[in-house]
Structures are given as structure tokens and as C-alpha cells.
Amino acid sequence: DAKTTQPPSMDCAEGRAANLPCNHSTISGNEYVYWYRQIHSQGPQYIIHGLKNNETNEMASLIITEDRKSSTLILPHATLRDTAVYYCIVRVYGQNFVFGPGTRLSVLP
């Protein structure tokens, strides 16, 4: 079973920041937080991951709370092509990736 809780859906206006929350209250010290997204009928695409520090790459930023029980994925300037299902996953090194239902993000023009 997935160890994360995400809202089932969210809307965001094009050009605005999309902030996607994830709760992982039972996360253990050696579990990383990963974010993937899946655009309709394509394979899941890696976005970003982190352990306890905030992370940023060319796609997004990941903000992890100090107690590590929740995190937020930030897409700074959402475009229509960011419409997808976003998955938050916690994973220990060497284990598999367990996907929950994710958040369906709709970017609106």
C-alpha cells in the first residue's frame, strides 16, 4: 500500500505556480520522497526527489517539512502541458516504487 496521501484533484491557472501537497506522516528516517507524473497514456516521468533538504531542478521544487511528515511539489509557472497525474512516493534505497492514486492536476487557460 502507498504510504502517502494526496488530494485526488487540483486546478491551476496557466502561468501561476502549482503547489501539490503530499502527506507521509509515517515516513521513516531512511525513506526518500519522490515525485513522478504521468501524462495521459505515457509512462510515468521522474520529476524530483529528496531526503530532508529542499530540492530544486529545472522542472520543479520540492519542499519537505522539518519533521518530514509532509512535502509540497511546486511547479513555478504551470503550462497546459503540465496537466497530468502527479504521484508522491516514499521509498527506501533499493526497494520498489509504490504508486498511489496521485493528484490529477488540471492547468486551465
Partner 1 sequence: DAGVIQSPRHEVTEMGQEVTLRCKPISGHDYLFWYRQTMMRGLELLIYFNNNVPIDDSGMPEDRFSAKMPNASFSTLKIQPSEPRDSAVYFCASSFAGQMNTEAFFGQGTRLTVV
Note the residues at the interface with partner 1 (CB under 8 A): 32, 34, 41-46, 49, 51, 87, 91, 93-94, 96-102
Supply 50's cell numbers: 529528496
**Residue 23 or 38: which CB sits closer to partner 1?**
38
> Which residue in 42, 41, 40, 38 sits closest to 89, CA to CA?
38
Supply 90's cell numbers: 516514499
**Residue 45 or 54: which CB sits closer to partner 1?**
45
**Residue 14 or 55: which CB sits closer to partner 1?**
55
Residue 54 CB, nearest distance to partner 1 (Å)?
16
Q: Could you report how far apart the first and last alpha carbons of the chain are, in Å?
A: 35
